[in-house]
Amino acid sequence: MAKILDMPKLSPTMEEGVLATWHKKEGDSVEVDDLLAEVETDKATMEFRAFDKGTLLKQLVGPGAQVKLGQPVAIIGKPGEDVSALAAEAGGAAPAAPKKAEAEEQPTETPRSPRIESGETAAAKPRATAPTMRPAPIDKGNVLTRTERDAAAIGPVQVVNGERVLASPYVRKVARERGIDLAGAQGSGEHGRILPSDLDALGKGELRGKMPAAPLARVDQAAAALAAPGLAQPEVRPLSPMRKTIARRLTQSKQTVPHFYLTIDIDAEALVALREQINADLAAGAKKAANGAEAPKPDKVSINDLLVKACAAALRRVPETNAQFTEEAILVHQRVDISVAVAIPDGLVTPVVRNADEKSVVAIAREVRDLASRARAKNLKPEEMSDGTFSISNLGMFGIDEFSAVINPPEGAILAVGQVRDEPVVKNGEVRPGKKLAMTLSCDHRVVDGAVGAAFLAELRDLLERPMRILTG
């Protein structure tokens, strides 16, 4: 029996996504765990895989469509099944063809996704075969849907030397908005298909600036209203799903979580020396293992890797910091899973180092490097970005001395780390060159009291100023 496939939750904070590419077409056979489509979420480009086997009978949304969580996206069943009733129930049935008399006045419509526009409401209608709720079809009348408005902004499909440019409507729309000419471009997708991830690279080359930007009416009007007469208009950058989620979650964090901040300076001279010694040993070990051949690129340990290990040890010593607030109780975690903030072009993601207290510094370095690389490529799995118990945000590589970070709910604290600074220090009554490192702990006061936060920082300072204990403790 045919069934409707709803958009699943592909990341912990996902509320909607952009269906970037279909990997199965109507009529294709589908097995369990087959890749159906790629979906751009607030975190990364995720794989939408099949939970059932059968035949893909109908796609209810096209490439580039904005899809809500739980919205119907496809129908799967046995070959030849009549799915017109299910398609109508899902709101994805193709509209009736216009009468001949009307055809001259109205353009032919394509099947549209069941988007509900701002200001529109529709009663939820349950499907008999599942307990989920889904929106009823919208009576369009004379009102254009978002999908139709977007289609108008996309413009005509580009054809180069008689061949259609392989790009989804979403990619063409974004390219038009950014002023990127897709003609002659070879994308990284199947058969040279241009993917959303290719647009940044294309925008840096000769392809930029050959297409007029599509109008973004409301955004452009807002930009114009902010600019004084005679001044240049600002560049308009539409919000990505990730940026929308960052804005929502951080606003919620600052409005609902009572933050307070504790800052310390540590003597980082021994920490820097230990890092240099570890990296020298790793390089020597790689050279020895090569046995005269060209040595592979050795592992390297960063200050941040040592901080992850040190924080994990400090959290074991002061477990009240490794906690989160709920309306019923404070949860003190028995695991130490540290979220590491990674900057990517679209915003910020926080991949998680699981059981950081049980791993060596070198193992942490390898894992953080792998997670950061896949985060920038938008290839992280949802479980690799969720359920951390403590966060570290390090801006030292950007020359920042000190800052305060916003807590990443539901975690109870986040450590903001600046750069290692060369400055005079007093030791044994003498002033001499030294190294300092400032760190600020942002605490959820519902979970972490001032004394608890101070105790955590004291343990962390002790570990970092006697860093051999990080390796042995």
Residues 107 and 168 grouped into a single domain: no
Residue 445 falls in the annotated catalytic set: yes
Determine the structural domain holding residue 383 and report its residue range. Answer: 246-472
**Which pLDDT score, from 0 to 100, does residue 107 have?**
45
User: What tens digit of pLDDT does each residue of 58-88 get?
Assistant: 899 888 888 888 888 898 988 888 888 888 8
> Is 221 among the domain residues?
yes
Residues composing the chain: 473
At 134 the three-state DSSP class reads strand
Residues 164 and 141 in one domain: no
Domain end (from 173, 196, 225): 225
Say if residue 162 is in the same domain as residue 114. no
215 and 267 share one domain: no
Which tokens hold the place of 254?
């600052």
Residue 262 lies in a domain: yes
Q: Tell me if 69 is assigned to some domain.
A: yes
**What is the structure's pLDDT at 204?**
59
- Of 191, 259, 333, 445, the catalytic one is 445
Same domain, residue pair 214 and 263: no
**How many structural domains is the chain composed of?**
3
Same domain as 431, residue 379: yes
Q: Is residue 241, in this structure, part of any structural domain at all?
A: no
pLDDT given for residue 199 in this prediction: 75
What amino acid occupies position 69? L
Q: Are 71 and 89 in contact (CB under 8 A)?
A: no
Q: Name the H helices within 139-228.
A: 146-154, 169-178, 199-203, 217-226
Would residue 409 count as lying in a domain? yes
pLDDT tens digit sequence for 394-411:
999 999 999 999 999 999
CATH number, position 56: 2.40.50.100
160: exposed, middle or buried (C-beta count within 10 Å: 0-12, 13-18, 19+)? exposed
CA–CA separation, 64 vs 308, rounded Å? 39
- CATH number for the domain including 191? 4.10.320.10
Give every residue of the chain whose pLDDT is below 70, as ranges: 12-13, 43, 91-165, 169-170, 184, 186, 188-191, 197, 203-228, 473
In a domain, 150, yes or no: no
Residues 53 and 84 in one domain: yes
Domain containing 288 — which CATH number? 3.30.559.10
Q: How far apart are CA 130 and CA 133, in angstroms?
A: 8
Residues 253, 136 share a domain:
no
In-domain check, residue 48: yes
What per-residue confidence (pLDDT) applies to 305?
96
Q: Say yes or no: 379 and 432 in one domain.
A: yes
Query: Which residues fall within 8 angstroms of residue 52, CB to CB, at 6 or more apart?
Result: 3, 5, 30, 32, 76
Do 305 and 427 lie in a common domain?
yes
In this predicted structure, what is the pLDDT of residue 357?
95
Give which of 192, 194, 191, 142 is closest to 167, Cα–Cα.
194
**Confidence (pLDDT) at 92:** 44
Tokens found for residue 189: 């997708």
Domain boundary among 102, 124, 145: 145
Same domain, 12 and 133: yes
Which residue, 116, 145, 174, sits at the end of a domain?
A: 145
The verdict on 425 and 459 lying in the same domain is yes
Q: Is residue 259 part of a domain?
A: yes
